[in-house]
Amino acid sequence: GTLDAANLAVEHLTKIGKGGARIGIEPAFLPSDAYTLIRNALPDARLVDATDMLERMRAIKTDAELEKLR
């Protein structure tokens, strides 16, 4: 569930030494329980809205993806 995924993210960020990093999120797609868990587990992290950047990245398509769309 959402908390399992959030815990995995926290564990990974802690393991790679990024527990206090700036973390991009999409607020509209991050459940409040997962947000709260991340916020509490990584109090030094800065959660920022990365919706625009993530939307731009999703718009980039490989040749194979474009072929599927055709």
- Tens digits of residue pLDDT in 16-68: 999 999 999 999 999 999 999 999 999 999 999 999 999 999 999 999 999 99
Distance separating alpha carbons of residues 32 and 6, to the nearest angstrom: 11
Compute the distance between CA of residue 20 and CA of residue 13 in angstroms, rounded to an integer: 9
**Would you say the C-alpha torsion 50, 56, 8, 14 has a positive or negative sign?**
negative
Q: Which two tokens stand for residue 30?
A: 């991050």
* Rounded CA separation 13/21 (Å): 8
Instruction: State residue 29's pLDDT score.
Output: 95
pTM, 2 dp:
0.79
Q: Tell me if residue 45 falls in helix, strand or coil.
A: coil
